[in-house]
Structures are given as structure tokens and as C-alpha cells.
């Protein structure tokens, strides 16, 4: 083939891929992964910490940017941010799963369950914490743990893995504790992730910590293992059905490391979250119809990665990590997309728009 023909063939191939596919492959499974407090600087920190060797974030096939402001504040808290990502509606800071006037908002997870999809939550915080809570609870106060625990028990989510035993051990309305209530509802209840391998077709509640799990350096590979386990359980639960599943995974303690202004702890949490992202992307590789969406709820710490010296004629200026606040910031967040439908989300958007696009792709809008 001479050069002219080769150019023509290449042009035809390239123009072919530029046209939108009129019959796109449906998104059957969606894994939404939230790094609490994770902005672009936190991903950059991981990249630098990894000496620029590719991470799971570099596998993204498409990216987008999110505006995170809440209904009443340009700087969101986790409750309002999670409500936006879960329901597609903005609310006030401190509020979970309800609009500013207190009206309950239906989450993507509730819609997915109603349409016959399997559902799951994997977190390193308490299962009643703000990010997971927005996917099943409706409370005016994110700190109302008894109410959130009651709504967790009523939510009928297939796989629940995280912390929060303290509130699950409290008395339940119908006698016994909330753990007993889960057993009565047909759940396999355990405090050990390894035990979930003996599960048959039951729903699973695996609560392993009183409140939040310990730091990444102490909890080992819990989050990547729990992510893999949840993917296996949900894949089995939806096997043979046209509907797939919706799984939420949160690297919950990135935010805690950032509030503490602890760069080493932040990097540990980012490395841990990245392994969970890689596990989800690997699952998407072997399971067509799976979309992985990775983002944050807000940036925490105002993390800046600056040069140690200002003389750029030097070969290397060194780096330092600065935290400009112990709280959250208003900076936009990156979204990383991988798998089936990754090309169908992109651009600059409000966090609520990402939620709506996820619901549309899953057919639960
Ligand atoms: Zn926070």
C-alpha cells in the first residue's frame, strides 16, 4: 500500500469513529466511585507519589469537570454534595436526601432498585455517613444517626460494606437491635469481609467498625477487596437478568486526612482508593456493559503543590504540599470515565447534571 492509500484508509477509519453511534451499547452496570475531598491536586499528588508511573486514573477514556456549589453555599459540605450526586438536585449544606424545604428526593439507587437493578454500597466510613446516606436517607440533619440507621434498614440495598456498628447495635423499633432487623429481613450479617464468601443468594450487611474504619495504613487492602467482593456479589445477584447493578464505592477517609492537613496520610488514602478504582476498571474490562465513574464530592484542604524554590533555571526545584484551609473549597472536580458509555459523559457541568446523566445511562431517570 502506498502512502496516499494508507492516508485515505486512516482518514476513513478516523472519520468513522468521529460519528456518534446510532445504537450505543446499553450501560447495564454502573460503578460510581467517590473520593471524599478528592480534587485534581489530590490526584496529582498520587501521580507524583507514584513517580509518574501510570495509575488507574490515567486509564480514563473520557474526563469531565464538576461544579460543586450547594443550594445555599458556594462551598459545599459532604451532605449537600452527596445529595446532588445521588439525586440530581441541589440542597442546603447539612441536609441529606431532601430539598431545602425538606421534601424527600429520590436517589439513583432507589430508582435503580425500583427498576430491578441490584444495588450496593462500599465505604470506609460508617454506612450512615453523608456520602452513602444520600443514596438511601432523607433527613434534615446529616447527624441524625438513629433516623439514618432506620432508613438504611428499610432501604433494601443488596450489598452493604463499611462501618457504623455503633448505631446498628442500638434497639430497633420492632425489638432487638438493628442487626436483628437486618437478619429478619433476610440479610447475611457479619463483621468480617472474609465471611461474605460463604454467602449464597442473601443480601449482605458487612459492618466491620464501630464508626469509621481505621486509616489506610492500618486497615490494609480492605477497600479494594471489598470493592471486588461487592462487584462479584452484585454480578451474581443480577446474573441472567436484563437489569444489572448500581454500586457506590467511597474512599471516605481521604477527606479526614485532608482536614488534618496530613500529606502522608492523604497519599496513603489516595493509593488505597486508586487500587479500588483499578479493581472496578478491571471488572469493566471483563464485563461488557459496565461503566466506571470516578469523581469527588468536593475538594478539601485547598491543597497546592508548589515548588520549593522559585529559581526555575535549576534542574529540580523540589516540591511541597500546602494546605490553605482545614475545610472544603469551591474548586471544580475532575470526573474520570471508563468502560461502556464513557464517551457519553463529558464537558463542564454541575454535580447534579452528572447524577442525571448517570440515571439516563442506566435507564432509571
Ligand atoms: Zn469534609
In this model, does residue 18 exceed pLDDT 80? Answer: no
Q: Could you report the per-residue pLDDT of 162-200, keeping only the tens digit for each?
A: 999 999 999 998 889 999 999 999 999 999 999 998 887
Q: How far is the CA of 328 from the centre of ligand 1 (A)?
A: 6
35-83 tens-digit pLDDT:
999 999 999 999 999 999 999 999 999 999 999 999 999 999 999 999 9
- The lowest-confidence range among 11-25, 127-141, 197-211, 258-272 is 11-25
Rounded Cα distance, 364 and 108, in Å: 7
Torsion of CA 305, 308, 314, 316, to 10 degrees: -60
pLDDT value of position 317: 87
Q: What is the pLDDT of residue 316?
A: 85
Q: Report the number of secondary-structure helices (H) and strands (E) in the chain.
A: 13, 14
- Cα distance from N-terminal residue to C-terminal residue, the chain: 50
Q: Domains of the chain (ranges plus CATH)?
A: 26-305+318-362 (3.40.720.10)
Q: What is the pLDDT of residue 8?
A: 46
Which residues have C-beta within 8 Å of that of residue 69, sequence separation ≥ 6? Answer: 75, 76, 90, 330, 350
- Rounded to an integer, what distance in angstroms lies between the CA atom of residue 63 and that of residue 40? 12
Pick 213 or 310 by higher pLDDT. Answer: 213
CA of 300 relative to ligand 1 center, distance in Å: 6
The pTM for the full model equals 0.93
Residue 4: its pLDDT value, please? 54
Residues 255-287 have pLDDT tens digits of 999 999 999 999 999 999 999 999 999 999 999
Q: 272: CA distance to ligand 1 center in Å?
A: 18
Higher-pLDDT residue of 263, 309: 263
Q: How far is the CA of 80 from the centre of ligand 1 (A)?
A: 11
> Residue 258 C-alpha to ligand 1 middle, in angstroms?
8
Q: Rounded mean pLDDT of the chain?
A: 94
pLDDT reported for residue 20: 60
Amino acid at each position: 500500500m502506498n502512502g496516499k492509500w494508507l492516508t485515505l484508509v486512516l482518514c476513513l477509519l478516523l472519520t468513522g469513529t468521529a460519528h456518534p453511534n446510532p445504537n450505543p451499547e446499553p450501560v447495564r452496570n454502573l460503578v460510581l466511585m467517590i473520593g471524599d475531598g478528592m480534587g485534581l491536586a489530590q490526584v496529582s499528588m498520587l501521580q507524583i507519589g507514584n513517580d509518574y508511573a501510570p495509575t488507574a486514573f490515567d486509564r480514563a477514556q473520557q474526563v469531565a469537570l464538576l461544579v460543586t456549589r450547594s443550594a445555599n453555599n458556594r462551598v459545599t459540605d459532604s451532605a449537600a454534595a452527596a445529595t446532588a450526586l445521588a439525586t440530581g438536585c441541589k440542597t442546603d449544606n447539612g441536609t441529606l436526601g431532601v430539598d431545602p424545604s425538606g421534601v424527600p428526593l429520590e436517589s439513583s439507587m432507589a430508582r435503580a432498585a425500583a427498576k430491578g437493578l441490584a444495588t450496593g454500597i462500599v465505604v470506609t466510613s460508617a454506612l450512615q455517613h453523608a456520602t452513602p446516606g444520600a443514596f438511601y436517607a432523607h433527613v434534615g440533619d446529616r447527624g441524625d444517626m438513629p433516623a439514618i440507621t432506620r432508613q438504611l434498614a428499610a432501604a433494601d440495598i443488596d450489598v452493604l460494606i463499611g462501618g457504623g456498628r455503633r448505631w446498628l447495635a442500638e434497639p430497633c423499633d420492632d425489638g432487638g437491635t438493628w442487626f436483628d432487623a437486618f437478619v429478619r429481613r433476610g440479610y447475611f450479617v457479619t463483621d468480617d469481609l472474609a465471611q461474605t464468601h460463604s454467602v449464597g443468594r442473601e443480601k449482605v450487611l458487612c459492618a466491620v467498625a464501630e464508626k469509621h474504619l481505621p486509616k489506610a495504613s492500618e486497615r490494609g487492602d480492605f477497600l479494594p477487596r471489598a470493592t471486588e467482593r461487592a462487584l462479584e456479589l452484585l454480578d451474581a445477584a443480577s446474573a441472567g437478568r436484563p437489569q444489572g447493578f448500581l454500586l457506590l464505592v467511597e474512599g471516605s477517609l481521604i477527606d479526614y486526612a485532608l482536614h488534618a492537613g496530613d500529606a502522608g496520610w492523604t497519599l496513603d488514602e489516595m493509593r488505597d482508593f486508586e487500587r479500588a478504582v483499578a479493581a472496578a476498571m478491571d471488572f469493566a474490562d471483563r464485563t461488557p456493559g459496565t461503566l466506571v465513574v470516578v469523581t469527588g464530592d468536593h475538594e478539601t484542604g485547598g491543597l497546592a503543590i508548589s515548588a520549593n524554590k522559585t529559581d526555575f533555571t535549576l534542574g529540580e526545584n523540589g516540591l511541597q504540599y500546602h494546605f490553605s484551609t482545614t475545610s472544603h473549597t469551591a474548586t471544580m472536580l475532575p470526573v474520570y470515565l471508563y468502560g461502556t458509555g464513557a464517551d457519553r459523559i463529558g464537558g463542564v457541568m454541575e454535580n447534579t447534571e452528572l447524577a442525571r446523566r448517570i440515571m439516563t445511562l442506566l435507564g432509571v431517570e
